[in-house]
Chain A
Amino acid sequence: MTMEAAKEYTLSVLTEDKPGLLNRLTIIFSRRKINIGSLNVSSTEVKGVSRYTLVATETKEQLDKVVRQIRKLVDVLGAFVYEEDEITYREIALYKISAELLEKNGEIEELIRNSGVKVVETDKNHLFLEKTGTKEETHKLYLELEPYGILEFVRSGRVAISKSTRKTEAFIKELENSRSNKRSIKDF
């Protein structure tokens, strides 16, 4: 087997909205000692269907095996693994910095103006900044703010939509109409 390099991949898993599923999913990663870099669970445009978006750094070969095991979970409708150019994705980062920086340092004001950062909230001591974008973009801002002192930083799980033409609703219709629920041979 050829040893390919580990890379960051985005996994998108469509599931029935059932309790316990998160645990079932993560077990598949943890038994292979694969670290989940980020995770997001959300509703979709189809009622009762959830989308899990996971980011993991691994070889494609290994993740393909993981995805095949995920697909086996009874409540999983579909699971897909994507490279970065196959999806549109965003992550939100929040940064808390001291309000004093604004008074003392004109540079911060300029940074905020130029980097597409939103000031979501202020109080007398703090400035709460928000940046939405790719991991590289939110990380770049982190590096820029770091010299001034970041009091708190958090980044959300990735949300991603694939560039494929497949529609979730059509995909689920297809599953509903599929006749692979039983064998076609009768004489068992």
Chain B
Amino acid sequence: MEALLEVKEEKKTITGSEALLKSLLQEKVETIFGYPGGAIMPIYDALYGHEDELVHVLSRHEQGAVHAAQGYARASGKVGVCFATSGPGATNLITGIADAQIDSTPLVCITGQVASHLLGSDAFQEIDIIGISMPVTKWNFQVTSAEEIPYAISRAFYIATSGRPGPVLIDITKDAQQQLMDFEYTRCEKIRSYQPYPKVDVEKVMEAADLINEAKKPLVIVGQGVMLSGAEGEFQDFIQKAGLPVASTLLGLSAVSTKHPLYVGYTGMHGNYGPNIKTNECDVLIAVGMRFDDRVTGDVNTYAKQAKVIHIELDPAEIDKNVQTEVAINADAKEALRFLTPLLLANTHKDWIQEFRDCDALEHEKIKSDALFPAKGELKMPEVIHRISEATKGQSIVVTDVGQHQMVASRYYQFDEIRSNISSGGLGTMGFCLPAALGAKMGSPQRQVIAIIGDGGFQMTVQELGTIMQYNIDVKILILNNNFLGMVRQWQELFFDRRYSFTEMANPDFVALAASYNIAAKKVSERAELNDAIQTWLSAEGPSLLEVVVEKEENVFPMVPTGSSVSDIRLE
């Protein structure tokens, strides 16, 4: 069979489907996650026999495909690509697309569509996926003629990856997939109505530098924007030059090593005590590549009111959206920091940073000492994460689902390597973890990938065990099983008078389930067995699953209750 990618592309007549694959190769795509069906069959037919050029991973559900593409993108920094058919195939992508939109993940989703003459007629498996996906995509486009394919794909990749990244959906009618066309490809480099990289306003940078230089109690919050911009190095220079304490948002975790002397912890609803309390005591708050989500700010009306806020953010719509800024630098983090750091005066803020350490000591006494090192009773989530963190030396990619286990992993995994945290932050998508983890492993095959999931979320996309089995994808799956929807249960306990409405779960035998997929698995409920079980699980060849039965009614603390001020963070 003829190779899809030729060294020199000559103008030639091919089908729309072949043009799509060639376009993807032009964009250096290596891996596609997808699921075939009627309206995308010509594309799948063109794909047949080209596994050496384009790896296609068959998921077990389209939601699995899109979450896998997200995990792939987050772990590799490349674009995640997925295929689905029309109708239900396309609608099944929506949760993942929405998740990618709110968490700024670059995706290109290709959906098949009924033939163009049937559009609007309620044909079999016809759905207006352009209309449906409009609010959750950065851009979308329907291709109804093969000639539009190179244009659509080149724009899709440019838009998905540039500026604040996001998902793009391209819907291709079946007739367009089959039509013949003259193929020619030019990468998109500019769209006049789209200005993804505003130029750094040097005056704003100088104003920001003055504020930082005069600050007695500065606090930096790092978000995922720093990693998306590839600015981890610039960010370190920035905090080190002026001795700025840095807290991380959920998605910002792993942008800075938890071992860094200026790192003061994770901030937000279940974050550390220090950064939350000190947000309302600092005099200058410097937010870099983050968007002041309500899970970070709590009540915005009492959030950092005493502080002058500097916001370095690429997306202009995020500036002054939730928190009013004193100085806004609307620019890519890497560019902005390159301008800003040279203007800073060397400083250490020793006494101020000590205040964070004092907070840590209090949090340790009130929460961590018991959570991490319980002497008796049932196993607790924090001690399990702590031991995994030790066993992996903080070097693994940690993919989490949504709920208590996610907050516990975010609190206690000691990230020491950049781009190691993959979680559904903004959308809070249960079922994200398992497929995202297999995608992450494919995107970053040299690294160990650990999937940390609750018993509830695991069952939302459990079918992806099939994908893991078929492609022998080496993910280490941890189920923290409390036989409850733990976070909802916690809220019911704290805010709904312990009325545990539909949160208790009867679960299957997870070990037997994994075994049926030929995945090595073990269940642990005794503290004495935990270390050995973790070792066996992590050192297994290929995928493996560890189910740890944890205390049923454990709560995650600290906690900033919804609508409360970050100052009112509860330690118990």
Contact = CB atoms under 8 A, between A and B. Distances in A.
Interface of A: 1, 15-16, 20, 23-24, 27, 31, 64-65, 68-69, 71-72, 74-77, 172, 175-176, 178-185, 188
12 contacts: A20-B130, A20-B134, A69-B317, A71-B317, A75-B193, A179-B199, A181-B191, A181-B195, A182-B197, A185-B334, A185-B335, A188-B334
Contact of A74 (B191, B301, B320, B332): B191
Contact of B135 (A1, A16, A31, A179): A31
User: How many B residues touch the partner, as a band?
Assistant: 20 to 34
Contacts of B135: 27, 31
B185 interface: no
B316 A71 contact: yes
B192 A77 contact: yes
Given A180-B197, A184-B197, 20 more contacts: A1-B301, A20-B130, A68-B316, A68-B317, A71-B316, A72-B315, A72-B316, A74-B138, A75-B193, A75-B194, A77-B192, A180-B196, A181-B190, A182-B162, A183-B335, A185-B332, A185-B335, A185-B338, A188-B230, A188-B334
B475 to A, nearest CB: 28
Given A68-B317, A178-B195, A23 B131 contact: yes
A33 B172 CA distance: 32
B194 A183 contact: no
A78 to B, nearest CB: 9
Given A1-B301, A20-B130, A65-B317, A181 B197 contact: yes
B342 interface: no
A166 to B, nearest CB: 16
Given A1-B301, A181-B189, A183-B332, A23 B315 contact: no
Interface of B: 130-131, 134-135, 138-139, 159, 162, 189-199, 230, 300-301, 315-317, 319-321, 324, 332, 334-335, 338
A27 B193 CA distance: 19
B451 to A, nearest CB: 29
Contacts of A181: 162, 189-191, 194-197
Contacts of A64: 320
A64 B193 CA distance: 19
Nearest to B138: A74
A34 B135 CA distance: 16
Residue from B138, B162, B317 whose CB has the most chain A CB atoms within 10 Å? B317
Nearest to A23: B134
B193 A76 contact: yes
A72 B317 contact: yes
A188 to B, nearest CB: 5
Contacts of B190: 181
Q: Which of A15, A75, A172 has the most CB of B within 10 A?
A: A75
Contacts of A74: 138-139, 159, 191, 193-194
